[in-house]
Structures are given as C-alpha cells and as structure tokens.
Chains A and B, each alone.
Chain A
Amino acid sequence: MSEPRVLVIGAGPAGVRAAEALVAGGISPVVVDESPRSGGQIYRQPPDGFKRPGKALYSFEAGRAQRLHQTFANLRNHMDYRPETLVWNVRDGVAHTARDGAHGEIPFDAVIIASGAHDRVAPFPGWTTPGVFTLGGAQVALKYQGCTIGRRVAFVGTGPLLTLVAWQYAKAGADVAAVIDSATLGDKVAALGALAKDPATLAKGIYYAAGLRARGIPLIHGAVPLEAIGDGRIKALRYQDGAGREQRVACDAVATGYGLVPETRLADIAGCRFAFHEPSRQWLPETDDDGRTAVTRVYLAGDGMGIAGANAAEARGALAAFAVLADLGRSVPMTTVAAHRRRLAATRRFAAALDTAFAYPAGLAATMADDTILCRCEAIRAGDLRHAANDLGAGELNRAKALIRLAMGRCQGRMCGAAAAEVLAAALHSPVEQVERLRGAAPAKPIAMTLAAKP
C-alpha cells in the first residue's frame, strides 16, 4: 500500500506541531504555507538578513518561538514544504494552490487546515484613512520589518493584543499616545478568577499594563473610538472616555483591533458545518475535541477552529495529527494524546475568560453612523446595509451581500463581517445569530483569472 498523502495547510504553531506529530507517526506530510518562513503570525520570522535576537522579536515567548522554528527546521528532510503558496480551494480530496502565478493541485487522504486568525475589527469614522492599521498589523510592521506604523501611535480596541502591542511599541522607542480599551476595569475584574487559571498569561498582561503606566502612557478603560481625524494622513483620534466625555489625542497613526477572528474560509469551502458560539459572538466550525470535522478527510487545528491562543494551537495541531494517524489505522501514543488534551482543556477555560474580559463592542458596531464606511473594499456604508434590511428585505447577511455587495469585495468580509452582522441584527431587531454567517466560496483569496482558468 502506498503511503497516505497528508496535507497540512499553514505553518504556524498548529501546523508545525501537526507536521511534527505526523512525521513521528511515520508519515511525510505536504506542508503548504502562504508565508515565506514558518511561525505563523505570532512567531513570524523576519526576512533573511535581519539580526534582532528572538528576545527582541517575541519577548516572553522567545523560547517557544525558537523551539517551534527549530522543530520545523528539523523536519525539513521529512516533508514536502511549500512556502509562499496559497491554498485557495479544498474539494473532493484535492487542494488547489497558487504559487507565483502557477497553479497546483495536491490530492490528499487527509488534510489538516491550520489557517490561523486575524484581527476582529469594529469600524469607526476615518478607519480607512492611511495611518490606521490593525493591532496585528502594527505588530507585524515592528516584528517583521523593524518599523513602527507612525511616530506617535494611539492604540484603540480591546483584548490581550492591545496592551501587548502598545508595550512593544513603547519598548521599541515609539511614542504611545494612549491605550484606549473598550473593556471596563469591571469586565476585567469579573473575569479575574477565570483568568487566574493561566497565571503566566495573566501576569504578562499585568506586566505590560504596568510597563505602560510606568512610562506615563494613559490607559483608558470603557472607552470607544469616535473618529480618526485627518485628510490623507492621521492627525488625531477622537474618542469617548469611560465617563462618556469626548476626548481627543494627537497622533499620526492608530492601531485598532477587538480580539481575533478565526480564518475559516477553507474549512467552509471544504464543507465543514458551523455553529454559533455565543461567548465570542462568532460562527465556528464544528469539530470533535481532536479537530475531526463531519467531512471525511478534513481536520482542523489552531485558532482557525476558534480563538484559544498559540499554546492551545500547538496542542490542537498535535491532536489533529494524532486523529489523522488514528483514522488511518496507525498507532498513536495515548499518553501524549492525553497530555495534549489536558493542556488544551486548561487553555479553553482561559479563552472563555478572555471572551468575558474583552468582549466585542457589539453595541458600538450596531450603532455606527449611517455614513460610516463598513466595507472598506468597496466603500459600502452602514446606512446601505440598513437600507438593505429595512427596504430590500435582506433578512440575513448573504442576502444583503447579494443586494448591496457588502463582503463581496476582495477581502470577502474578513474585515467587515463581525460588524456587519451586528449592524444587520440591530436593524432587524433580531439576535446576531439570526442573521446567519457569510458563506465562504473559492477562491479563498484573490487569484489571477488565468490561474483559475487552468484545469
């Protein structure tokens, strides 16, 4: 019998640990990754020729990052690694790829989709002005390019990334104008008990906040953005503070993000079922504890299944690989599986607490002004979506998409999706899960027509 063909999509923490477990189980996987080097977003490696040590790039996570990179380097001769390659379709046991304008097809007996996550966005007036970037983007600029997104940066959003990236900027010498968090201190205190289940992570959050305060940087809670001001470039950020007063902070860049969204397009295209996850107000693909989906041959791993963080992603990557091995009739080390499951259970409780401490500002999104751009791809405004709901009979997101091209643009709803659901639900006076979810379709990301036309 020929060796089973196993494909791993993504070379972040989940993909790398999946590949490692597959190789240990006697299978040489194909590993496809969009980036030129492994690590995913969190442990992203700079291009060749960059010299900062891991400690400068990954702070407390330097050890973990280094181990992950080393693990992947050690697998080099045991896998077929294809960097800078986009998987844009997964169907009937075949993955369709694009690399440098060339089409490829990878047949598989099993695929582990470890597609990661990106920032969850809450649009506000001026958010398309040059100089406004996501928190993750601000971090990429620093980690991957040694640049800050501006000289004086305002941070506005919520979630662990908010204080982390602000602290990294301050440490790198940038002027951090303010850190404006939509979560109230009360939200955070209420979640403290559960957050303390992961004392190391909790301690880091406290450390970053203390570091910012020590530098005299204002940390404002219960506050939301009103407008990024500037014509062609950012001059200031207007926001409403926790007491409801309007404030203004001068800056030349804004970093924003409200937690993370799992990247689920490929899971969707592959036919996975989804269920609404109330705590995070998101639709997540359904899997069993090890990442098996209801679709034969399709497994999920990492933050693409639902946000649980990098440590959980490593465990989920290994578990998905063990599930593949078991389903292929290979033996799996049950004590190792059990250890990963325990590790994962602990991170789940912590992730649930994060949903409480750093909730998506659904009300802010739902009440955005009619003339605020919601879809940045095609400059579709919140009022257009309300018009679709109230006058055109758009009872759910996909109908709205058909009517007004919301989420029809190049990003396919990645940036506007979370807020659009809130706007539509509010317009229809219905719970957000009733407006359903934006369905994914191939290609998962833009590709050249000439490429798609090839058989």
Chain B
Amino acid sequence: MAGTPDGQFFRVAETDRKIVAITVDGVAVTALDGDTLATALLTHGHHLRQSEFGDGPRAGFCLMGACQDCWVSLGDGRRVRACTTLVVDGMAIHRGNDL
C-alpha cells in the first residue's frame, strides 16, 4: 500500500492515481494527483507547520477549511490552506517557521 512507513496519514484506497513530484522543505517527495497538500505532506511526515506561539508542530485539525491550522507556504510566495489546496506537479511546499 502506498503509505510510507513513517507518515501520519495512511492510504487505504484510491492508490491507482498518477504520481506527482513535489518538494517539501527542499526535499523531493512524491504525491498522487488529487492529493491535498495535507495528504501529500502527512503521508510522508507528521506535521504541516510550527505554531507561531512556541508550543510545537501542528498538522491541521478540522481538514475542512474551518480551523485555519494548516497554512503552509509555497515556493511562489503564496500561503495556502493545506487541507483545501490540491498538489500540482513541481510544487515547492515549505513548513518552516517563517510565517
């Protein structure tokens, strides 16, 4: 099954999709066409961002655009909600503290 051993999310269905190449904090990883950024990142890791208030990493919470706890930065300077933004081939995503 297409879930890396160390991801928070685990793929249980719909794994027969086109592979998309993205980078996360400069590291090349693969995602599947139709993944949200949250899915793409959380199938490989455990967080999406750092809390600006020093209380540690965050991985989103509501996954439906209400809690606003999954904002990430893109290479083109945009800031987007990871749970409502779909991956695009070549996308560069940053989880850093520079919010």
Q: Which residues of A contact B (CB under 8 A)?
A: 34-36, 41, 46-52, 56, 101, 118-119, 128-134, 136-138, 140-142, 144-151, 172-174, 231-233, 252-253, 263, 373, 376-379, 409-411, 414-415, 445-446
Complex CA gap A151/B57 in Å reads: 20
Q: Of the candidates A141, A148, A377, A445, which one forms a contact with B63 in the assembled complex, judged by CB atoms under 8 Å apart?
A: A141
List 20 other contacts, CB 8 Å, given A128-B61, A253-B8, A414-B62.
A128-B55, A128-B58, A130-B48, A130-B57, A130-B58, A133-B59, A138-B63, A141-B9, A145-B39, A147-B12, A148-B10, A149-B9, A150-B9, A151-B10, A173-B12, A232-B47, A233-B46, A411-B66, A411-B68, A415-B61
CB distance from A411 to the nearest CB of B (A): 5
Contacts of A48 in B (CB 8 A): 34
Could you write out 30 A-B pairs with CB less than 8 Å apart?
A35-B84, A36-B86, A49-B18, A51-B14, A52-B13, A101-B78, A131-B8, A133-B60, A133-B61, A134-B62, A136-B63, A145-B14, A146-B13, A147-B10, A147-B42, A148-B10, A150-B9, A172-B13, A174-B12, A232-B56, A233-B8, A263-B66, A376-B67, A410-B68, A414-B62, A414-B66, A414-B67, A415-B67, A415-B69, A445-B68
Tell which of A41, A47, A146, A231 has the most Cβ of chain B within 10 Å: A146
Contact B63–A137 (Cβ < 8 Å): yes
Let me know if B63 and A140 touch, CB within 8 A.
yes
Please report the C-alpha to C-alpha distance between residue A252 and residue B9 in the assembled complex, in whole angstroms. 10
**Residues of A contacting B35 with CB < 8 Å?**
145
Q: Known interface pairs A146-B14, A172-B12, A174-B12. Does A130 touch B66 (Cβ–Cβ under 8 Å)?
A: no
Measured CB to CB, the nearest residue on chain B to A140 is B63
CB neighbours of A232 from chain B (8 A): 46-47, 56-57
Residues of chain A contacted by B68 (CB below 8 angstroms): 377, 409-411, 445-446
* B39/A376 in contact, CB under 8 A: no
Complex Cα distance, B3 from A148, in Å, reads 10
- Give, as a whole number of angstroms, the nearest-CB distance from B86 to chain A: 6
B36 CB–A CB distance under 8 Å: yes
Q: Is the interface of B mostly helix, strand, loop or mixed?
A: loop
Name the interface size band of chain B.
35 or more
Specify which chain A residues have a CB less than 8 angstroms from the CB of B63 in the assembled complex.
133-134, 136-138, 140-141
Shortest beta-carbon distance, A170 to chain B, in Å? 11
**Does B19 interact with chain A (Cβ within 8 Å)?**
no
Q: How far is the CA of A252 from the CA of B67 in the complex (A)?
A: 21
A46 and B8 contact, Cβ closer than 8 Å, known pairs A130-B47, A376-B67, A377-B69:
no
Interface digits, B68-95 against A, CB 8 Å rule (1 contact, 0 not)?
A: 1101000000100001101000000000
Question: Do residues B15 and A131 form an inter-chain contact, with CB atoms below 8 A?
Answer: no
B51 with A131: CB separation less than 8 A? no
Whether B34 lies near A49 (C-beta < 8 A) is yes
CA distance A48 to B34 in the complex (A): 7
Q: Complex Cα distance A412/B43, Å? A: 29
* Alpha-carbon gap, A134 to B38, bound state (A): 14
Q: Shortest beta-carbon distance, A265 to chain B, in Å?
A: 10
Across the interface, which residues of B come within 8 angstroms of A151, CB to CB?
A: 10
